[in-house]
Amino acid sequence: MKIIFTALFSLMSLMAMESDEITPHKYDDGGPKPYEIPASSRFTTSRLERHVPDIVYYFSKPKAETYPIAILCGGSTSKNNISSIIHLHRYILQEFHNLGAGVLTVEQWGIDGNTVNQDEFMKHYTRTQRLLDHRTVIEHLKANPPPGWNGKIILCGASEGGPLVTTLTTDFSDCVIATINWSGAGDWNWREELWVFVQKLLSDNPDCPDHKLKLKDCPCMEDVKTRERYDAKMDETLNNPTANKEFLGMTYLYHADAQQFTKYDYHKINTHFLVVSGTADSLIQSSDAFVAKATEAGANITYHRVNDMDHYVRRRPDVIAKTFAWLKAQLP
């Protein structure tokens, strides 16, 4: 009987240990479901500002004794669709673990797992704030390296995460060994990219989710039907960068910040860099310009220009597989 209880206790202990790790999961088009993040995988570090909440981040260690860390940056968020970065973390966790890499993701201000403070999130949601938080976490890692980390970083960004990982690539050229940019490598500024996106949306003419009208007939699109009116609205966001007013689902603060986001110094891209863009994405010409300028500057760019793919790499497992085949070839 003692042997049975000992074996049972050992099995229960093993199960508990396994449950303390973030588990891989690929959600479907129904969207991610709530997930209880193991406490042992949740970490914090202080922001540079005083008297503000700490940065929350998640880390999954691989089985390898020594390993690089992949830092994942997700896409943009609307006010009614705020969720944790843990879902992206879990979505491509297995692929990175298969290559012997750890995975790290950084929550945005106002989010902590299943807990979301919408007001706090919207007050602080800008590309620059996300960039600062990632810089802070990387500096924290360098000062407090996890056991087994070899000091090298892989960056992977999707959509809005693309500008973040591109800038981080130039910021941390001493330790970044590869960068993956999914549907987020663009040379054009935010004002131009958004204009092209909106015009494509009007051309497709779907139903407006808020007003149950065709988008072309919807009053919420009046300010984007001419370039003059659009530019006037974008100028207004620059002149009044507040989180209390919105345009096209984003705050004036967000638009103002994105329009002034740091321009890339292509000469500082000194690592293996993969750009993945779909020809059906409104971003495609901006991506073409990015690759052309980066290549001209001498950057080591690989371009997967995918026919008939839209903005969402997640819907193309074949493209994801090709990405990780490329990454495997870059790792020592």
8 or 322: whose pLDDT is higher? 322
Question: Among residues 57, 72, 31, which one has the least CA distance to residue 161?
Answer: 72
Mean pLDDT of 285-314: 97
pLDDT score, position 19? 53
Burial of 191-210, coded b for 16+ CB within 10 Å and e otherwise, reads bebbbbbbeebbeeeeebee
Q: Both tokens of residue 65?
A: 């004794």
How far apart (Å, rounded) are the C-alpha atoms in residues 253 and 81? 18
How far apart (Å, rounded) are the C-alpha atoms in residues 117 and 259? 26
Q: Both tokens of residue 190?
A: 């935010």
* pTM of the complete model: 0.92
Phi-psi region of 150 (alpha: psi -120 to 50; beta: other; left: phi over 0): alpha
Q: What percent of the chain has pLDDT over 90?
A: 83
How far apart (Å, rounded) are the C-alpha atoms in residues 193 and 286? 7
How far apart (Å, rounded) are the C-alpha atoms in residues 101 and 95? 9
Is the Cβ–Cβ distance between 164 and 157 less than 8 Å? yes
Kindly tell me if the per-residue pLDDT of 258 is higher than 70: yes
* E strand map for the chain: 42-45, 55-60, 67-73, 102-106, 111-112, 115-116, 149-158, 176-182, 246-247, 250-251, 272-278, 301-306
Burial zone of 53 (CB within 10 Å; 0-12 exposed, 13-18 middle, 19+ buried): middle
- For 82-108, write each residue's pLDDT tens digit: 999 999 999 999 999 999 999 999 999
Q: Both tokens of residue 185?
A: 């490598």
Confidence of residue 221 (pLDDT cuts 50, 70, 90): confident
Confidence of residue 209 (pLDDT cuts 50, 70, 90): confident
DSSP tag of 31: -
Mean pLDDT of 202-222: 83
DSSP tag of 65: S
DSSP per residue, 170-220: HHTTTTEEEEEEES---SS-HHHHHHHHHHHHHHH--B-TTTSSBGGG-GG
The half-sphere exposure of 42 on its side-chain side, counting CA atoms within 13 A, is 16
DSSP per residue, 234-251: HHHHHH---SS-EETTEE
16 or 136: whose pLDDT is higher? 136
- For 157-208, write each residue's pLDDT tens digit: 999 999 999 999 999 999 999 999 999 999 999 999 999 999 998 888 888 8
The residue type of 299 is A
Apex CA 177: angle with CA 272 and CA 326, to 5°?
50
